[in-house]
Amino acid sequence: MQRRPLSAAEFSREVGGRSGRRSTGYEEAMTAEALQARVRKFPCENCGADLRWEPGVTSLRCEYCGFKKEVARSGDAIREKSVDAALRAPRDLGWGAERKVIVCKRCGAHTTLDPLVSASSCAFCGTTAVVEAPADSKVVRPEGLLPFRVTRDSALQSFRNWLHGLWLRPNDLKSSSRMTAIQGAYIPFWTFDAATNSWWTAEAGYYYYVEVGSGQNRHREQRVRWEPASGQLEKFFDDVPVPASRGLDSSLCRDIEPYPTADLTPYDPSYLSGFLAEENAIDLPEALESAKERMRNEIQSACASEVPGDTHRNLQVNTTFSALAYKNALLPVWIAAYDYRGKPYRFLVNGVTGKVSGNAPWSWIKVTLTIFAVLMVVLIILYLAGQS
């Protein structure tokens, strides 16, 4: 049976923690005959059912008999690779295991999942406008990943807490929303290292005061003395993350940072068992430019703090990059895509640290009333001050 969006009542029960049907995120669509004929990639050695990755541990677990199988971890560390060398050398392609692809017609996400698992909605935006597509055999294989440590129940509780803690939101947000079950997904990321050397020039401003006017109008006036300034800044960047996702907004991804990328594990397709995995939507050159832009913004702020004086203007920064290196990895995210009055919203949980982020509709009536109340308080204070 295919997964359908939750009704308002079901959503309320799911988020409110009351009794009700607990979703598994997506369900398998198959007949008894297909079940018997199914070829399993990770069968349970005890009962033959599917093994799924269990967050927070280092094993695959059978949901039926409880059997656990430890995943053999490679002793090899995930090392950065030279960007220049990577642009010339061939890279491993494909997922290393059979996966099928679901394409969302609304947000464009290309999500991969186990071959005989059915998904009737997009995990990233909640729409049911999804179609199957052939797997891309040329997709660049991830070099490493961070396994899930946060469980689904913990992520769902975080969603409840976040939803109940929202201010200035519609009263019917919980009851009127339609939510697809919270799902675990591996999101493609690039991370970059770089050594930077920057030269900056600016006009440094120093405040001074002069007496102006005469009589009762005499007062001190602040002025600025401008002087040229320049300097040099060296800064090293380690593991600057760049999400390579079609389905998630980069600002939401940034809100749940950081990830402990020093703990990356060599890629093994067994970690994907029971989870979604999005295809890489950004290639290395494009990701590198995004990383450089993020670095430049940090460098700009760092150079601004180096300018002497009380203020500054006309800051110009020229930066050179060297020792550029990268890693290509999958990072775990729990995603709740919900729909409110026809518009999609998302909630994310960092699958390692539990840090949360999301977006939600505003109640403009509440916002207007709040602004009006604040203005009234200010006017009353000004009136009382004038009377005194």
Note the pLDDT tens digit of each residue in 239-280: 999 999 888 888 888 999 999 998 999 988 888 888 888 888
**pLDDT at residue 4 in the model:** 47
**Angle between helix 8-16 and 152-164 (nearest 10):** 100
Lowest mean pLDDT among 97-101, 228-232, 245-249: 97-101
Strands 311-340, 144-145: pairing kind? parallel
E strands in 140-261: 144-145, 178-179, 183-212, 219-243
Mean pLDDT on 127-154: 79
Q: What Rg do the C-alpha atoms of the chain give, in angstroms? A: 27
**pLDDT at residue 196 in the model:** 96
Which range, 102-111, 256-265, 301-310, has the best average confidence (pLDDT)?
Answer: 301-310
Task: Supply 13's token pair.
Answer: 């029960």
Asked if the model's pLDDT at residue 203 lies above 80, the reply is yes
Tell how far CA 147 is from the center of its chain. 15
Task: Supply 368's token pair.
Answer: 């207007």
**pLDDT at residue 210 in the model:** 93
Average pLDDT, the chain: 78
Mean pLDDT on 284-309: 95
Task: Supply 298's token pair.
Answer: 């940090």
The 8-class DSSP code of residue 351 comes to T
Between 244 and 345, name the one with better pLDDT: 244
CB under 8 Å to 184, separation ≥6 — which residues?
25, 55, 148, 152, 155, 274, 275, 276, 332, 333, 334, 335, 351
Between 340 and 145, name the one with better pLDDT: 145
Number of neighbouring beta carbons within 10 Å of residue 256: 22
Is there a contact between 218 and 190 (Cβ–Cβ < 8 Å)? no
Between 17 and 371, name the one with better pLDDT: 371
Lowest mean pLDDT among 111-125, 180-194, 276-290, 294-308: 111-125
Is there a contact between 349 and 150 (Cβ–Cβ < 8 Å)? yes
Number of neighbouring beta carbons within 10 Å of residue 206: 13
Strands 183-212, 130-133: pairing kind? unpaired
CA dihedral sign of residues 334, 162, 256, 56: negative
Is there a contact between 104 and 98 (Cβ–Cβ < 8 Å)? no
Beta-bridge mates of residue 311 = 205
Say if residue 170 is preceded by a cis peptide, omega within 30 of 0.
no
Q: Which of 78, 145, 82, 128 is nearest to 280 (CA)?
A: 145
Between 175 and 30, name the one with better pLDDT: 175
Q: Which of 36, 34, 187 is nearest to 118 (CA)?
A: 34
Task: Supply 264's token pair.
Answer: 């990356």
The whole-angstrom separation of Cα 232 and Cα 318 is 10
Mean pLDDT on 147-166: 86
Lowest mean pLDDT among 14-23, 113-122, 152-161, 320-329: 14-23
Asked if the model's pLDDT at residue 133 lies above 70, the reply is no
Tell how far CA 386 is from the center of its chain. 51
Between 136 and 374, name the one with better pLDDT: 374
pLDDT class of 84 with cuts at 50, 70, 90: confident
